[in-house]
């Protein structure tokens, strides 16, 4: 699956030159540099590759019907499939002069817990056998954002500035790229490793197994004060486990 989807993404790399939104009168509105807009574009590109894989294997491809539900794509044989595959698309950009980057990998307070495994997720968490991340990372093209308000046509597509370049992609199991600290901000999200593209591609994260990843994040407390009496990183987690044995 991994090789198939990555190969399919190589074939649709022209999608990385998406430059605007077209209305039915063939008017083209240029993209801004908003990260949410750019993330949506990469989801569209990824959908092409995932759809091709589903078609080639006879699997069903299911997308969320509600906003902010995990994952972006579910692959399954049928509704009774207890080994469904979750595919989530993540996008971020490299900061100037830096090769390292990171992502947030979903909530650690909702569907990964057995008692709330149906919360904000397409199917109950226990029905998924695999969880994958399709990760895009790009460089912001400074000065390439259209600020004139101009509306373009198909004849002037080459004149539309594209606000990103140097797009690279990887695909890896979520637990292999998960970090041991929450993501940025106050949201209760799992943070990824902070690494290079090679780090994400190799998947040499902090957890020894998916079971350890789940045990760690199911027990991770939401506030710093709560974590003082339990653990706040993988070393403290291992010390706590050793003390109980």
For residue 218, which of 236, 237, 239 has the smallest C-alpha distance? 237
| CB 90, CB 136: distance < 8 Å | yes
81 assigned to active site: no
90 assigned to active site: yes
The token duo for 10 is 């190589």
Q: Name the active-site residue from 3, 34, 90, 144.
A: 90
34 assigned to active site: no
Total residues found in the chain within this entry: 245
Q: Name the active-site residue from 88, 146, 180, 199.
A: 88
Q: Which CA distances in Å does 222 have to 19, 43, 189, 190?
A: 40, 29, 10, 11
Q: Which CA distances in Å does 144 have to 17, 33, 105, 133, 167?
A: 13, 9, 29, 29, 15
106: left (phi > 0), else alpha (psi -120 to 50), else beta? Answer: left
DSSP string, 123-157: S-GGGEEEEEEEEEEEEE-TT-S--S---B-GGGG
Rounded CA separation 181/232 (Å): 7
Q: Name the active-site residue from 2, 3, 23, 72.
A: 72
Where in the sequence numbering do the catalytic residues fall? 72, 88, 90
């Amino acid at each position: 699956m991994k090789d198939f989807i990555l190969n399919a993404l190589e074939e649709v790399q022209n999608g990385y030159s998406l430059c605007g939104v077209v209305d039915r009168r063939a008017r083209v509105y240029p993209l801004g540099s908003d990260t949410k807009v750019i993330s949506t574009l990469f989801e569209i590109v990824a959908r092409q590759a995932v759809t091709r894989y589903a078609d080639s294997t006879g699997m069903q491809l299911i997308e969320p019907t509600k906003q902010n539900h995990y994952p972006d794509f579910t692959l399954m044989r049928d509704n009774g499939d207890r080994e469904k595959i979750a595919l989530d698309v993540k996008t971020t950009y490299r900061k100037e002069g830096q090769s390292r980057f990171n992502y947030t990998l979903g909530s650690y307070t909702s569907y990964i817990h057995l008692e709330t495994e149906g919360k904000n997720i397409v199917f109950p968490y226990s029905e998924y056998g695999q969880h994958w991340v399709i990760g895009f990372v790009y460089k912001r093209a400074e000065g390439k954002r259209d600020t004139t308000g101009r509306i373009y046509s198909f004849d002037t597509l080459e004149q539309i500035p594209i606000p990103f370049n140097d797009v690279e992609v990887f695909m890896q199991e979520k637990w292999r790229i998960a970090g041991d600290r929450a993501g940025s901000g106050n949201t209760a999200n799992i943070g990824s490793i902070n690494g290079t593209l090679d780090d994400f591609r190799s998947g040499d994260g902090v957890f020894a197994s998916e079971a350890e990843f789940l045990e760690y994040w199911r027990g991770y407390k939401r506030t710093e004060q709560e974590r003082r009496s339990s653990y706040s990183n993988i070393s403290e987690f291992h010390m706590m486990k050793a003390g109980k044995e």
